[in-house]
Structures are given as C-alpha cells and as structure tokens.
Structure 1
Amino acid sequence: MLIRRELPQDAAAVHAVHAAAFHRPELPESTPREAPLVDELRDTSEWLPRLSLVAVEETVVGHVVCSRGRIDDHAALGLGPIGVLPAHQRRGVGSALMRAVLGAADALDEPIVVLLGSPNYYPRFGFGPAAEHGIHPPVAEWEPAFQACPLTGHDPEVRGTFRYPAPFDAR
C-alpha cells in the first residue's frame, strides 16, 4: 500500500471511497454527506492539497483530509472525513492514513488537529478531549466526541471555539 497526496484525477475515486465507507443500508438511495463534503471543500480556500492523502493498492482504497479551521483567530486543522472502502477496512489502511496525515501536518508546522469521532478509537493517534486544551466544538452537544491532537508547534495559550470551513456548516 502506498500513501500519497491526492491528485486531480483521484477526485472521482475519493468520492466513491467516502460514498461506500459511509453508506447506510437503511438509506440505500442516499449519498452519504461525507462524499460531497470533500468535493465542496476542494472549492474553498480552506482546502489544503498537501493534507489530502490517498491510500493506493492498485486503485484508491482510502482517503483522509485536513482542512483549515480556526480557533478564534488562530490557524488550526480539522481532520475529516477519513474513509476506507469496506473491503479494505480492518487492514490498517485507516491507521496508515491517520499516521501519514498527522506526520505531514506536523512537518508543515501546523499546531493542532481536531476531529469529531469515537473517543475509543482516536486516542491511539494522540487525540484526547479537546476541552482539556481549552478548545470547544462549534456545537456544544459534540463535546464528548470532539478531540484534539496537539502537534510540535502547539501553543497551549491558544484556546477558544473551533470553526470548520463553510462546507461543514451545511452538514
């Protein structure tokens, strides 16, 4: 498996990954919101091409992206979505994508990455409750699943409410 930056010709495959990864059988005709979210993020100034990574095993089997968010007036990253084709799940693809995107973000001197996700899964990658760092989600009910991973350049004095890029607002 190769983890590399997403290329323009990967857009359709990335959309398909998220559509399959987040498919809900009870809504068979519905496109999961994560698939168009990535498409919409690409059209914003918050899209960070160096932090949109794909996992390739002959074809694209997984994708992760971090986009530019803000903690009040300070730059931060929002991770997500991350998706892996169902046939490739539980094989380490998601873990490899997580490690790669966090390493890339740190190498780019990004200070902190936040995400909304399982508090049982993401601590293995260095995430913990964002509130412990004084960072709060844009929706108070998200607090139990809102997590942060401080990177090398993190300033613990930066505290406040995290804001995702605009495409997240419609979700």
Structure 2
Amino acid sequence: MIRCENLLDASAIYNVHTQAFERENEAQLVKNIRHSDRYIPQLSLVAEVNNTVVGHILFSYIDLVGEETLRVLSLAPLAVVPKFQRQGIGSALVQAGLETADTMGEALVIVLGHPQFYLRFGFQPSVNYGIELPFPVPEDVFMVKLLTNYQGFKGKVVYPPAFQEV
C-alpha cells in the first residue's frame, strides 16, 4: 500500500533510509526538507507491507534559474528497506509520486540517480533540455522527467540549503 506520510511515520522513514543507504545522510535530508519551505506533504509517500513502512520517496522543491527562477521538483531520496528491495516497491513509489506531481500541475522532476532505473519512467539526461547540472557528475545520472505542464523551461539547477549535508 502506498500513501502520504503522516506524523507518526517520521521515525520509520528515518529507519528506512538509514537501512537502505547504511548511513544517516539521506535520512537527515528528509528531516531537513520536512522542516523547510520546500516540503510538499502530498509528495512524501510511504510504502507499507503488513502495516509496516518499508519504503519512502520524497519530492520537494528546488530552483531552476534561467530567465526567471522557477520552483521545480527534485526526487530525492528514494529508499526501500534491503529485505524488500527488488520487489517493485521502489518503482511503485516513483510511479505514484510522478502521477501525483502531474495531477498537481508540476512541470518537471529532476533526479540524480541510476539511469538504468529511472529511464523506464521516462527520465532523460537533463542536458537534452538545456537544464544544467549544479555540480560535476556524469551527464547520464542527472536526469529530468517532463510532466504535462512543462513549457520548455531551461536553466541551472540550484539546490536549497537542506541538500548541503548530503
């Protein structure tokens, strides 16, 4: 079952990220974003199995600075407890989040991740759309998914302070 996170999920979400990444950076990122003006409650989703939170995905606002500064979505982080990985839970979270974001009228989603995973959801290298990376990483891992309201936006991605600890 996939649903929006609630106040009682915070520690379970922290544990999901800590287990999945074997460090606290991503769990701390969720906490930082949750306490910022970039947090979007409808786009913080959990996956449950037998009433236990086993996965989490967070979409939050970042800036795309071009002719004007636009708020666009970042997909980060995504985690599934190791015992439940490779069972389609992460894919279901991504799909649910993208559908919700599109329904909300968002224009695009940016992710830094494994191309083999994200290409299946329609993500493409951001440079194909004139969206510049904010730091040096291989172009194929910095991707964008265009949603219904995309209107040719271009510029450089600027992450808010919540991301600086990751």
Q: Which residue of 2 aligns with 1:169?
A: 164
CA distance in 2 between partners of 1:112 and 1:78 (Å): 9
CA distance in 1 between partners of 2:138 and 2:62 (Å): 16
Q: 2:39 aligns with which of 42, 47, 51?
A: 47
Q: The residue matched to 1:122 in structure 2 has which SS? A: helix
Output one character per residue of 1:34-88: Cα deviation in whole Å (capped at 9) or x when no partner: 0111011111000111100000112100000000011110120000100000110
Q: Which residue of 2 aligns with 1:33?
A: 25
Q: Which residue of 2 aligns with 1:86?
A: 82
Q: Which residue of 2 aligns with 1:160?
A: 155
- Inter-CA distance 142–67: structure 2 relative to 1 (3 Å threshold): farther
Letter of the 2:88 partner, please give it. Answer: G
Q: Which residue of 1 aligns with 2:128?
A: 132
Conserved? CA contact 1:116–1:142, under 8 Å: no
Q: The residue matched to 2:137 in structure 1 has which SS? A: helix
CA distance in 2 between partners of 1:43 and 1:84 (Å): 22
CA distance in 2 between partners of 1:142 and 1:170 (Å): 20
- Quote the RMSD (CA, aligned, Å): 1.0
Q: 1:71 aligns with which of 64, 67, 71?
A: 64
Displacement of 1:141 in angstroms is: 2.7
Q: Which residue of 1 aligns with 2:12?
A: 13
TM-score normalised to structure 1 length: 0.92
CA distance in 2 between partners of 1:168 and 1:9 (Å): 24
Displacement of 1:169 in angstroms is: 1.8
TM-score normalised to structure 2 length: 0.94
Identity of aligned residues (%): 40
Listed as ranges, the matches of 1:102-121 within 5 Å are: 102-121=98-117
CA distance in 2 between partners of 1:40 and 1:21 (Å): 18
Letter of the 1:137 partner, please give it. Answer: L
Query: For structure 1, which runs of at least 5 residues remain unmatched after alignment?
Result: 24-30
CA distance in 2 between partners of 1:97 and 1:142 (Å): 25
CA distance in 1 between partners of 2:75 and 2:37 (Å): 16
Q: The residue matched to 2:116 in structure 1 has which SS? A: coil
Displacement of 1:142 in angstroms is: 4.7
What stretches of structure 1 move > 2 A for 4+ residues in a row?
Answer: 140-144
